[in-house]
Structures are given as C-alpha cells and as structure tokens.
Amino acid sequence: MFTERFLRDKRGASLEADERARIEAAISEVKTFGPRNIVARAGEPLTNSTLLLEGIMSRYLDDRNGLRQLVAIHFPGDFLDLHAFPLKVLDHDVATLTTATVATVPHAEIEAIAEEMPQLIRKLWFATLLDAAIHRAWLFRLGRLDATGRVAHFLCETNARLFSAGLSDGRRFALALTQADLAEICGLTTVHVNRVMRQLREEQLCLFRSSLVEILDPAGLAKRAQFDPAYLYIDDDSQLPSVQRPK
Amino acid sequence: MFTERFLRDKRGASLEADERARIEAAISEVKTFGPRNIVARAGEPLTNSTLLLEGIMSRYLDDRNGLRQLVAIHFPGDFLDLHAFPLKVLDHDVATLTTATVATVPHAEIEAIAEEMPQLIRKLWFATLLDAAIHRAWLFRLGRLDATGRVAHFLCETNARLFSAGLSDGRRFALALTQADLAEICGLTTVHVNRVMRQLREEQLCLFRSSLVEILDPAGLAKRAQFDPAYLYIDDDSQLPSVQRPK
DNA sequence: GACGGAAACTAACCTGCATCATGCGTTTAA
DNA sequence: TTAAACGCATGATGCAGGTTAGTTTCCGTC
C-alpha cells in the first residue's frame, strides 16, 4: 500500500514484493501535516526518514534576505530524506508545500534492513543517487537555461516524474503549486514566472491554471527546455517527449 | 598512500586504517590523463569507479549550443564517480581539467567490500551524499547569488574543501583553473567572470592570478558569498570563515 | 628573439529579468 | 458581509550581466 510508488519503474531498482513488505513493516507511524509546515531544519540530528505518501514537499535553502531556493521537490512515492540516514544531519530545511501525508521509518529499522537485505539497501542508495541526478539537472537548468526554458524544463521533469509514479497521463497532471513556488524552484521572481507562463500559453506549449498542468505540445516544450528524461532512470521512458538524444 | 585524502576529516565518516587498506587493495590500476580529456560519457555503462589522486576533474552537462554547465568539480581525494556503482550508467560526462592521476576501482571489488565490510560501504554511501550536498550548495549559488557572490562562494567552498584535504592553508591555495572554467561553474560568461575577479581584487577580498588563489579577507569573502561550510561535513570547520550561523 | 596560441583583460552596446507599483478576483477569517 | 490576505496579472523603469569585438600579456617553441 504505502510503498507502491517508491522506486516504481526505476531502471534496475524497482522493489520486489518482499522488499516492499519489509519497508512497510519498518514504518513506525503515518501522519499528516498541514500546508507550509516545516518538518525538519538544517543541522538538526534526525533519527527517522520519511516516505511521502500524499501531497507535495520541498527541500530548500534560504538566503540572508529571506529569498528561498528550492533544491528539491517531492511527490508521492519519494523518500524525502533518506540521505539523513548516512548523513545523520541535514544541510537544508524540509517543509510541506501542500497538506501532506507521510510514513515515518526509524533509522534503526533501516539499520536492520541493512543486515537482513543488503540488496535492498543498495536500492535505497540508488534512490538517494537519483535525487542527486535530479540536483544535477536542476544545476543545468539554473546555469544554462533562460527563464522560459527553466520553467519548461521543470514542467517536463515533473510530468515525467509523475508519469512514472502513475500520477500523470503524460500530458495532464494536477500540480498544487503557486507561481511563487515555481519562482523559488527556477531562481526567478514571481512576476517573471507570470510572464513566462503567459508566453508558454501564447506559444501553445503549455497551460497551467487552477492547479492543473496541461502540456499542449510535449515535443515543443521539451525542445524549449532541452529536456531529456534519461537522468530520471525511468524504466521505459520512450513515451516521454525529449529532445533527440545524441545516439 | 592512495587513500590518505579520501573522506579525510569528514564528520563520522573518516576511514580507519583497515578500511583504507581494503580500498587500496581494491585498486586495479593507476593511470594519468592529459588535461581536458573526456574520461566517461553520459549513458555509457561503467564497471569501474575512479579515485582522483592528483589534478582537477569535472563533471558537466552541455547544452544544445555547446554551452557547458559544470555540475561538480573534483580535487585529490575525491571518488569521482562512485555513484556509478549503484547507478550503473551516468547522466553526465566526466573529464579532466588539468593533467590528472587516478586510481581505478572495479565495481566487482566494491561488491566484495560490501560483503566484507558493510560499515565501509556506509562510508562510501556517505561520500556520494556529500557530493549531493555540494550539488545543493551549487543550486543555491546559481539560483540566489549574483555574479560576484557566485564566484566568491565557489572560492570559499574550494578553499574549505582543499583545506580539509590538506591542500590549502586556509587562505592560499593552488588552483589551475581558467576564468572560462569559473564561468562554466558559476553559470556566467568568461567576460563577466573577469569583471568579477577585478571587483574582488579592488575590494581587497581575494586575488587569483597564475593559478594561485589568495583570500585576503576571509570573513569579507564569506559574507559576500553567504558561505557557511556546514554542508561540507568537515570534522572541525571552526577555522574556516563563514557567515554567522543561526546557532 | 620572433612567432603563435591561449588566457587575461577591456570597452561599447544591448537585453532579459528584477524591481516597483497597481488592480482585480477569490478565498479566509473575524 | 466586510476586510484582509493571497494569488494572478500587467505596466514602467533600471540595471546586471550578456554579446561583440577587440587589445594585451604571458608562454612555450622553433
């Protein structure tokens, strides 16, 4: 039940039935947070990790002037802070964006899994590295794309991630984020995100209103974003639009 | 010998003598690459990982127009592509920047280590997550700092990393990078990096000429960069300048 | 010690995005 | 039922950093 989306359709790392059962047995608690709640703060020692079941959560760094940069966004099926298991202490804050339901997994249980099922620990390691691969794509986005490309890239990525979690049909998906959230993801101002959204609308690439994203021209959007989903390590990404890959 | 810098002084993850010996025993080959050599390409299956012994290497993504964004830079003591062990295939290219000497560790050996020394595997996992923490700091840098802040942040980070590797005295260090390299790290143009370097010089914060960085005002530079080395998980970072931490 | 190439440096111009300001519709809460 | 707060939208203005087009300095090498 709780783990059906975790590592779903991930190349070489999808969970077997017994592995899913083991993780579910490790869950100590399921709880729900309200929107915009801080769940963990940088520097705090953590003794649990958190599997997101429902809602959207974020990881971020704030600058001195209160400007915020999201470093990751998480959807159902993501293990939010699995990296806290080896690291012990996080270097960033974790918060909900929407109302969110999470399952708590004590680190002691992960420790036990390490003894019992070493191949499962390997998959947990994989999951943390998938997050790192997404970090790298975000670096590319911030470093080398213009405002429109950044937003387009984020929307392509989100579509692909939600598709592999079974939460997008490949073109349309619910996304309860504000334009201010997009700004904090893309390193832009809210004002400019608004202009970019209008442009994407006018170019008939993508619509985003009342928490629903509709990709009108998947190939066009992917091209604008220079998006190639390879970094998401999805088992069969042939249905997802991307720029033509160099072989 | 080969592993003396790997995970050196890392909080809770430094290597014990037997662990170092085990990794050294796992090395199959030591070789040297010329400068600006591509070592691995995105999408290629890898069966080895690489410990950098000498020189500087990079990981990067190229955009459609040939503009390059570095997503990581590596110094002696870094395990460059340890994440290729769980991931099998990389999502980015790896290349040398300077002449570089590396030790090759076959994945089969890491597999063996996983059986023999599970606590050492945990430390390897930690090492890959440290890279991810650095990715996050780079995201903050690109998303929320202006050009001068970005370069200053990179120089503070590099000073801290080299300090913990024993390659900086905390103020001065050799850094054989060009201004074009800095541009590809900071998401800027070469021209603008040059302007920024002049500004840092004029403000008496930092000098960088003939491959030598000299930080004149560590506290001032850290402030300009909003730099706090906590994300580097260095055992004792009290000697490193940083902005005052919120306790 | 002349040549060639790479890196550092500079100036003039231009533009993409930030900044500041305002209005409007819709939700929240008092 | 009213006002306060929030999210979306849009216009005017300014500037940080990109772009283009050089010149200068530093090297290694013939």
pLDDT of A236 reads 82
- Asked if residue A18 has pLDDT above 70, the reply is yes
Residue A246 has pLDDT above 70, yes or no: no
Domain boundary among B111, B134, B157: B134
Choose the final residue of a domain: A99, A134, A169: A134
Same-domain pairing of A64 and A152: no
> B140 lies in a domain?
no
Residue A246: inside a domain = no
Q: Domain check: are B22 and B117 in the same one? A: yes
> Does some domain include residue B210?
yes
- The beta strand positions in chain A, using DSSP E, are 29-33, 38-40, 48-54, 57-62, 68-74, 93-96, 100-106, 172-174, 206-209, 212-215
Residue B192, min C-alpha distance to chain A (Å): 14
Both A102 and A185 in a single domain? Answer: no
pLDDT of residue A152: 98
B148-182, pLDDT tens digit by residue?
A: 999 999 999 999 999 999 999 999 999 999 999 99
Contact B139 A144 (CB under 8 A): no
Q: What is the CATH number of the domain that holds A170?
A: 1.10.10.10
Q: Give A113 or A241, the one with higher predicted confidence.
A: A113
Judgement on whether residues B114 and B176 belong to the same structural domain of the protein? no
CA to C1' distance (Å), from A86 to C9:
46
Q: Are residues B127 and B35 part of one domain? A: yes
* Distant-in-sequence contacts of B40-45, Cβ < 8 A, 24+ apart: B40/B81, B40/B84, B40/B90, B40/B93, B40/B94, B41/B90, B41/B93, B42/A230, B42/B90, B42/B91, B42/B92, B42/B93, B43/A230, B43/B89, B43/B90, B44/B89, B44/B90, B45/B88, B45/B89
Q: Spell out a b/e string for B123-133, using b for 16 or more CB atoms within 10 Å of the CB, else e.
A: bbbbbbbbbbb
If asked whether residues B158 and B115 sit together in one domain, one would say no
- Measure B244 CA to D10 C1' (Å): 40
Chain D bases near protein CB atoms (7 A cut-off): 6-12, 16-21, 26-27
Q: What is the pLDDT of residue B77?
A: 97
The answer to the question of residue B3 being in a domain is no
pLDDT at A90 over 90: yes
* Averaged pLDDT of chain B: 95
CATH number at residue B95: 2.60.120.10
Give the pTM.
0.96
Determine the pLDDT at residue B246: 44
Mean pLDDT of the A45-70 span: 96
The whole-angstrom distance between B70's CA and the closest CA on chain A is: 8
B12 touches chain A (CB under 8 A): yes
Positions 118-157 in A, CB within 7 angstroms of strand C: 146-148
Owning domain of residue B206: 146-232
When pLDDT is averaged across residues A158-175 and rounded to a whole number, the result is: 96
Mean pLDDT of A3-21: 93
φ/ψ of B106, rounded to 5, equals -65, 145
Question: What is the pLDDT at residue A241?
Answer: 76
Q: Is residue A247 predicted with pLDDT exceeding 50?
A: no
Confidence of residue B244 (pLDDT cuts 50, 70, 90): low
Judge whether B26 lies within some domain.
Answer: yes
My answer on whether B37 and B103 are in the same domain is yes
**pLDDT tens, A201-243?**
999 999 999 899 999 999 999 999 999 999 999 998 777 777 7
pLDDT of B247 reads 35
Could you tell me the pLDDT band of residue B240, with boundaries at 50, 70 and 90? confident
Picking from B85, B105, B134, the residue at the C-terminal end of a domain is B134
Tell me whether residues A12 and B137 touch, CB distance under 8 A. no
Specify whether A115 is located in the same domain as A26. yes
Average pLDDT of B106-116? 96
User: Do both B153 and B96 map to the same domain?
Assistant: no
**What's the pLDDT at B227?**
97
Cβ distance of B230 and A143 shorter than 8 Å: no
Say yes or no: Cβ of B36 under 7 A from any atom of strand C: no
User: Total structural domains in chain A?
Assistant: 2
Same-domain status, A125 and A41: yes
Measure A231 CA to nearest chain B CA, in Å. Answer: 5
CB atoms within 10 A of CB B146: 10
Are residues B31 and B75 both part of a single domain?
A: yes
Q: Is 60 exceeded by the pLDDT of residue A35? A: yes
On whether both B101 and B201 belong to a single domain, the answer is: no
Q: What is the pLDDT of residue B237?
A: 79
List pLDDT tens digits, range B26-80: 999 999 999 999 999 999 999 999 999 999 999 999 999 889 999 999 999 999 9
Q: D4 C1' – A64 CA distance, angstroms? A: 28
Please tell me the predicted confidence (pLDDT) of residue A19. Answer: 96
pLDDT of B207: 96
pLDDT mean over B107-132:
96
The residue-averaged pLDDT of A68-74 equals 98
Hey, of A62, A73, A90, A91, which one would you mutate to test binding to chain B, going by the most B CBs within 10 A of its CB? A91
Kindly state the average pLDDT of the residues B188-216. 96
